[in-house]
Structure 1
């Protein structure tokens, strides 16, 4: 396809190249859980214990998990599962789970765990190690299993995953002479700059740039898309690496040029979705749930039938990477009836259950086979792209002190994209902060 390079864009790219040439460090591989000190002997389970258990998870907004729990209870009257719905807020869910663990309460048995909580709970021995031969780990997408691993031990069973995708206006790209979606971030911004110069009230790109957890998701994936990592396999931060500086320079230049609107500094998932749906963005990065919303035929979307989607593009010839979302099932170290808990988790993650849930809710499953399922492929236009995105996905920093780490990342990233700080000095300051937070 044809590409564009404006004079202002060439200046930014030249400055980026100069910054990269100023220094270099060894490139790091993709991060995996393992940050922190090895906790030693993990909490063990007694899988011979059977009886009633509780399931503690965030609010079931779909209603479908509750129906699966009810189906289990009909078949297992002596091993009934009581579903305890926690807060809808992820932060509040974590507080509830942490407070339960610190009090060594047996109130929760099976825990619905955000993937970024695994290191903290494993390191503190609040959840038990799970046997590799009891669950279908070999049949799962490898990147999802990584999210449940801490120091080469498994503490969770992946149930749901997710990856962001690039949504784009097919009609605007065609009008601009681009015959396919961009294959790199650089190309995407160049196309966006060309289109926004001709289309009134249309901005180039939007994603989640407000100062909240979504910003950590953006920065982690963007740096990985440049071939870098925030934390390596040993838990060492690399926020000031050439790859990280290049990624953040690309992002900052898009804000400076106006390709990304200043209003995007307030965007979370829904704000970016609404801007795209209203026809005000050429490109948008977001989760797959928005596909049906932006294609509604009830008049709520101005871009119905005009939207394409692809996996995220990379930077500097690297493969694009989304930060993974998702949920793992873990077993509390302080509750009993671990045998029933393990069987109930196996029931939730088996192929029949995961397919049923995916067909009803569009939740991304963890079993590889379901991404080749014809029913799901026919049901969701994004299914194949989603699998590619999950395969290339990376985890957020898997550190025991995650709450402090994500806050530091958000503060530095926001200062950069809002123009309050320059890329290189701010990333060096972030590096120093992360070194202090790393065990």
Structure 2
């Protein structure tokens, strides 16, 4: 008892030590309990974003879910191949370091077959009407009739062109065929002193495989078809690579078209080393009249100061008059890491629902130029007016779109296509030689992986 009216007595060092230890222990226990009952922490990994749109979307989600869920966005590399290698390394180790995965459309079969991602079929059908999605986009997230991801945004190969330079040479519309493109490019290059007629992606990587496929498809050729046997019924073109078709004369003709553009100096020899970045830089710098790229480039050009009078967007050319344009399906799907805990997977699903809602899909379109995956948005007059590439995207997505082979071993297929295309561009192979080599190589891949 303290004497009345007196000062408190100083505690001994031993008493102070006991008090400090008790306080520290209590604090750690409280912190532990708060963590257990606090926000679920998840990591969302997606490709690089120069516009800042993804971070702003994540920040808005975190704010609206404060105390319940907190998302950390991990920005992956800008190239699909490197992005995939990093994810494969983590997923194959059973790591829970990433909970929500932005997956290129070509990874669905591989990730699903290896059971790295959750089967979202039940969640999807409980939450969505499948008809609200663009069919090609949803198909890219499906493997063996099961929903493995939810489309986030879609892509299609497009032709960007310098409208102002075409006008200077008397051209009022973009080319319909590759021959027209070459003729127009030659005249505009001569009239305006522009270095290159047409730039695209010819390097030995996934983008090269995409460009090769578009040239082949535009000439009426194909790479592979698929079929899936389910309880005795064969469903053509569903989800499993089966027949190799790339050895055709049409495929050879498509590859020869690409080589001819380089041989006739419509495209520079350096295009055999171009990826998206190099091709875009040439176009932005005013060194190219035509550019093959993805819809996001529309936003890049507007932010770079290009006006609607200076550039336009059109479908890719066909091989011949009256032929059909062919564009490769691209885009990214949202998948949940099967190794994450239930609470992390539930939190990731909530983020998927947020990112695919109309409001966020519109924001992505406006701020980043990304094509939405909801059908209704292509009929939104205000959105189409703000982002005109959406109007063209609807035309391409509904009538000119082709998908790459859906296969768990697509990375092997892609490497062979990219290699043969690159060698063709360099003049080391003719179109016919490249097509025959590809036919042999792809058949060997199919046999080896059956």
- Shorter-chain TM-score tier: 0.7 to 0.9
* Aligned counterpart in structure 2 of residue 65 of structure 1, from 54, 58, 61: 54
Structure 1: gaps (5+ residues)? 1-49
1:88-237 maps to which residues of 2 (within 5 A)?
88-89=77-78, 90-131=80-121, 132-133=124-125, 134-196=127-189, 200-234=193-227, 235=241, 236-237=243-244
Cα distance, 1:250 vs structure 2: 1.3
* Aligned counterpart in structure 1 of residue 368 of structure 2, from 358, 361, 366: 361
Cα distance, 1:315 vs structure 2: 2.1
Residue 40 of structure 2: aligned partner: 52
Change (3 A) 1:136 1:85: farther
1:311 aligns with 2:319: no
User: Whose strand fraction is larger, Structure 1's or Structure 2's?
Assistant: 2
- Looking at structure 1, the residues matched to 110 and 198 of structure 2 have their Cα atoms a distance apart, in angstroms, of 35
- Looking at structure 2, the residues matched to 292 and 128 of structure 1 have their Cα atoms a distance apart, in angstroms, of 33
Residue 378 of structure 1: aligned partner: 385
Contact 2:42–2:347 (Cα < 8 Å) also in 1: no
The normalised TM-score by structure 2 is 0.78
Contact 1:297–1:304 (Cα < 8 Å) also in 2: no
Could you list the per-position Cα deviations for residues 312-345 of structure 1 after superposition, in whole angstroms to 9, with x for gaps in the alignment?
2222333212223211011222222244433331
Change (3 A) 1:257 1:74: closer
Residue 326 of structure 1: aligned partner: 331
Cα distance, 1:126 vs structure 2: 1.4
Contact 1:54–1:82 (Cα < 8 Å) also in 2: yes
User: Whose helix fraction is larger, Structure 1's or Structure 2's?
Assistant: 2
Which deviates the most, 370-379 or 117-126?
A: 370-379
Residue 349 of structure 2: aligned partner: 342
Name the SS of the counterpart of 2:103 in structure 1. Answer: strand
- Looking at structure 2, the residues matched to 308 and 76 of structure 1 have their Cα atoms a distance apart, in angstroms, of 41
1:235-314 maps to which residues of 2 (within 5 A)?
235=241, 236-291=243-298, 293-294=300-301, 305-314=309-318
- Looking at structure 2, the residues matched to 60 and 389 of structure 1 have their Cα atoms a distance apart, in angstroms, of 25
1:422-437 maps to which residues of 2 (within 5 A)?
422-437=430-445
Cα distance, 1:215 vs structure 2: 0.8
Cα distance, 1:186 vs structure 2: 2.8
Cα distance, 1:297 vs structure 2: 7.5
- Looking at structure 1, the residues matched to 170 and 386 of structure 2 have their Cα atoms a distance apart, in angstroms, of 31
Contact 1:295–1:305 (Cα < 8 Å) also in 2: no
- Looking at structure 1, the residues matched to 302 and 64 of structure 2 have their Cα atoms a distance apart, in angstroms, of 40
Whichever of the two has the greater Rg, that structure is 2
Could you list the per-position Cα deviations for residues 245-267 of structure 1 after superposition, in whole angstroms to 9, with x for gaps in the alignment?
12112111222222222232232
- Looking at structure 2, the residues matched to 412 and 217 of structure 1 have their Cα atoms a distance apart, in angstroms, of 12
Contact 2:299–2:367 (Cα < 8 Å) also in 1: no
Name the SS of the counterpart of 2:160 in structure 1. Answer: strand
- Looking at structure 1, the residues matched to 277 and 98 of structure 2 have their Cα atoms a distance apart, in angstroms, of 32
Contact 1:238–1:431 (Cα < 8 Å) also in 2: yes
Larger RCO: 1 or 2 (CA < 8 Å, sep 6+):
1
Cα distance, 1:201 vs structure 2: 4.6
Cα distance, 1:83 vs structure 2: 2.0
Change (3 A) 1:219 1:83: same
Name the SS of the counterpart of 1:105 in structure 2. Answer: coil
The normalised TM-score by structure 1 is 0.79
